[in-house]
Structure 1
């Protein structure tokens, strides 16, 4: 069985923000329609994988947000960017279970929830990737342009907040098509999908939405990161520091994880977009959608790795996070110990706090 060029019925049944597609095409010979639904084992595997992503992403990004709010009193530009990255990732992992469940069992919510959840996913996709590019740019200025940027620090927090506001506004603007055209449809079952009344608009959006995602959500951040981190590595190689090898390894890990997580999905998405208006066999379309689903799950996993790569690897952040653990331990001991042991616990907590504060001057590449 082959898929002909797109009809208006096929175009109107675009799902998953124009990234996942379901075609029900039948040949003149009267063969059965091509069933592109995933098999039960694939659904179970995706459910477990997405559950792990949600759990790890929720824990990691929540800890990052709490740490920055509670203990990072003297923030830098990178701190502001990483806080916003954590917010974007947290909103994404909160929305992800609703999206996955409704995709697998039919959309049980209304049109308003359809628009809100699809838009939340799109906004945080763009904002998260662009903010990671901002992080690499700030590190480039701090390390490669260190002398020029020295003395400008008192103004950078204001600049970083303005840049973050601009990134969020830009992400919202890119999400307008998703917000306008996402609708709850009942044919053949309840789904949340992009729906159009005009064929020309449908064809345009079917190509424009994934193209924007690849260009703004992957290629632009990748180019910025490659330029900035290549310059940083060259600068570190010329520096005489015992920490430079560790810093270079961190840089390589950041770039490698970004490429490994997002390149397969965007390459598959590009191939899928280019094939939308060509004749396709049922078997090839099944394989293409399966690869797209697997690579998309790998891309989702990046939100779990961001806290480790960008926050916990920094000495200062780890110090503040250890202070959170110490405070929780002290709080529990305060209410469970006797008066004598409470005094000992109090001394331990004070000692730990002094040690934590005294190590604030320690810095690493991730600071």
Structure 2
């Protein structure tokens, strides 16, 4: 799990020439032990309830043969997959890693598969709306269920492939605080590659695609003076906006942390302020796993109607 396990050690020593800098991180450790696990359990509970409701509504009231619903179903599965890892990290932060080495690898893989696939599904859903409204491909092959199923399959395959290094390098190791579940990499090259992959491929590129698609969609709606608001478009748009609001602070911190690590001296790398900002931005980003269901429930009129019928 990126950036979390590395702070379990409360004290680290940095050797810079003939000086030894004592890097105290007890405040970070206390913050992780007392606050972060509670936040993870809360996010897990809300995500299971919210995404579970959406899953029931999709199966009970909606036709899963439509393109949009196929994408929504896979997005919900992606969020639930991400959510499944949170209780393990919560218990880990409050104690130590008590599970086996293979579980450390699997939980890391599940975490990143859910993370990467969620980003790609949100991007794909935006492109699908762009093709339907701007390019008028509503009747072509891009709007047929086989196309959606193939697209979802590609997304899952790509998510698994980019997560293979996380599975390989993750493992348990001994420390003063007990067993850690962390990356076992002898060189820092992989950490730089992983940061580049996350920031560029899974943040900046999706952000550029989504921004372009919605700019063109807005231009098309104004050009043709369309008064009827597309409810599905509004729903997907809010989901995407919420996603980037949740993940932008975290990616900015990852970028600053990478610069700090590669350019700063050893004493400057012990930056407790950056550690706190990183932890807070991580919590905001991980809370996103329960936000999609809230958007579906309170923004989509159709989902609110289904939810009302379900509660009755």
The one of 139, 155, 159 equivalent to 1:171 is 159
Is 2:259 the counterpart of 1:274?
A: yes
Correspondence for 1:363: none
Question: 2:125 matched to 1:135?
Answer: yes
Instruction: Report how many aligned residue pairs link the two structures.
Output: 304
Report the CA distance shift for 1:321/1:111 in structure 2 as closer, same or farther (over 3 A).
same
Q: Which of 271, 278, 298 lines up with 1:292 in the alignment?
A: 278
Matched, 1:307 2:296: no
2:175 matched residue in structure 1:
187
1:77 to 55, 60, 67: 67
- Compared with structure 1, are the counterparts of its residues 273 and 288 closer, same or farther at alpha carbon in structure 2 (3 Å cutoff)? same
1:321-358 Cα shifts (integer Å, max 9, x gaps): 333223xxxxxxxxxxxxxxxxxxxxxxxxxxxxxxxx
After the TM superposition, which residues 210-359 of structure 1 pair with which residues of structure 2 at under 5 Å, given as runs? 210-244=195-229, 253-277=238-262, 278-281=264-267, 285-310=271-296, 312-326=298-312
Give the equivalent residue in structure 2 for 1:347.
none
- Aligned counterparts of 1:79 and 1:302: Cα–Cα separation in 2: 20
1:107 is paired with a residue whose SS is coil
Q: Do 1:18 and 1:210's aligned partners in 2 also have CA atoms closer than 8 Å?
A: no
Shift of 1:247: 7.9
TM-superposed CA distance for 1:70, in Å, is: 2.1
Contact 1:19 1:269 survives alignment (8 Å): no
Q: Distance in 1 between matches of 2:64 and 2:191?
A: 45
- Report the Cα offset of residue 42 of structure 1: 5.0
CA contact (8 A) 2:34 2:94 kept: no
Using the TM superposition, give the Cα deviation of residue 20 of structure 1 relative to its aligned residue in structure 2, in angstroms.
5.6
Alignment match of 1:206 (pick from 191, 213, 224): 191
SS at match of 1:149: coil
Larger Rg: 1
Q: Which runs of 5 or more structure 2 residues have no equivalent in the other structure?
A: none
- The aligned counterpart of 1:49 is 39
C-alpha RMSD over aligned residues: 2.6
Unaligned runs of 5+ in 1: 1-15, 327-367
Query: Matches of 1:139 and 1:151 in 2, distance apart?
Result: 13
Structure 1 segments, 4+ long, off by >4 Å, are: 26-31, 245-252
How far off is 1:241 after superposition? 4.2
Normalising by structure 1, report the TM-score: 0.75
Of 74-83 and 93-102, deviating more is 74-83
**After the TM superposition, which of the residue ranges 278-287 and 46-55 deviates more from structure 2?**
278-287
Separation of aligned partners in 2, 1:208 and 1:20: 18
